[in-house]
Amino acid sequence: MPFSHHSHSGQFCPGHAKNQLEEVIQTAIAQQMEVFCLTEHMPRGKEDFYPEEKVDGLTTEEWHIENEAAFYTEASRLRDKYASQIKLLIGFEIDWIRPESLRLIETSLSRLPFELFVGSVHHVHTIPIDYDAAMYNQAREIAGGTDERLFEDYYDSQLDMLQKLQPPVVGHFDLIRLKSDDPNATFTKYPKVWEKIQRNLRFVAEYGGMLELNSAALRKGMTEPYPKAEICKEFLSMGGRFCMSDDSHGIEQVGFGYRQVLNFVIQTGITVLHYLDLSEEGAAFDARFPSTRIRSVSVSELKEKAFYEAS
């Protein structure tokens, strides 16, 4: 079952992604994906706008709320239009930045009947850590001046998010390595960081969340997807569940690196993957999403799907 649980479009993520939402969906269909989750970014407070958002027309929280509503309306229309060709779930990706973030997330969940959300941390000490090197360095200095100290703070912030929200899908678990001095280095060289990673993984495994295998790391020049194999093996030993995501920001990135991710899955020893489905059959795994179910597929079955034959 080729699927992605994390995607964006230029229509509702201006300046950060490309293409209309319908074009993204059409590309997923053309690639013979079967499940595709639409997860635009949630509204943020004006103090947390990215540089490209600080332009006329995009500078108010009200615009972000209106954009979220417009996204849900268009996503619903497109789900009906393409229902015979692909299964679409409508959700959003969170930003865990400051105490106010929790209220914003809960407001989005109460305002519209979303079917999932991706729990992500893109900021440490309120500073983006994946935007550019300058901002990463700024966050690192506040943390104590080293990657090790910033990694510790990142995983503490991530745990806070996990405990307060228990996201169905945990986004790019080790995003913090993207702008670090050596993005491909092992985390185990930092014992305190590794302990915090294990602690967070145990929590996700206990509440039943899914760790996404996110191919965006590959298109950003790293040798492994998010998260690294050492983290995946640790989570696997805890009985944790994995799903797949392309974290696409436009049509050129839909399904990017999925064959490499499948090889990574096999080499890592993962034999079963999970995905979200909409159904009234069976018990919901999360009371917030009464129609959303977690399904499983064996890796041996997955690699025989038409998506991989065509890719």
For residue 151, the surrounding DSSP H or E stretch is helix 147-165
Q: pLDDT tens digits, residue range 116-141?
A: 999 999 999 999 999 999 999 999 99
Q: pLDDT tens digits, residue range 135-159?
A: 999 999 999 999 999 999 999 999 9
Bridging pattern class, strands 35-41 and 3-4: parallel
End-to-end CA distance of the chain: 14
Task: Give the HSE-up count for residue 13: Cα atoms under 13 Å, Cβ half-sphere.
Answer: 21
pLDDT band at 31 (very low <50, low <70, confident <90, very high): very high
pLDDT at position 50, please? 80
In this prediction, residues 284-310 reach a mean pLDDT of 92
Decide if pLDDT at 1 tops 60: no
Residue 45's nearest CA partner among 108, 90, 91, 111 is 108
Least confident of 182-186, 200-204, 278-282: 278-282
* φ, ψ dihedrals at 296, nearest 5°: -130, 155
CA 85 to chain centre: 24
pLDDT at position 108, please? 96
pLDDT at position 306, please? 81
pLDDT at position 209, please? 98
Domains of the chain: 3-310 (3.20.20.140)
pLDDT band at 54 (very low <50, low <70, confident <90, very high): low
Decide if pLDDT at 58 tops 60: no
pLDDT at position 234, please? 98
Decide if pLDDT at 290 tops 90: yes
d(CA 256, CA 39): 17
Stated pTM of the model: 0.96
pLDDT band at 164 (very low <50, low <70, confident <90, very high): very high
Q: How many Cβ atoms from other residues are within 10 Å of residue 124's Cβ?
A: 27
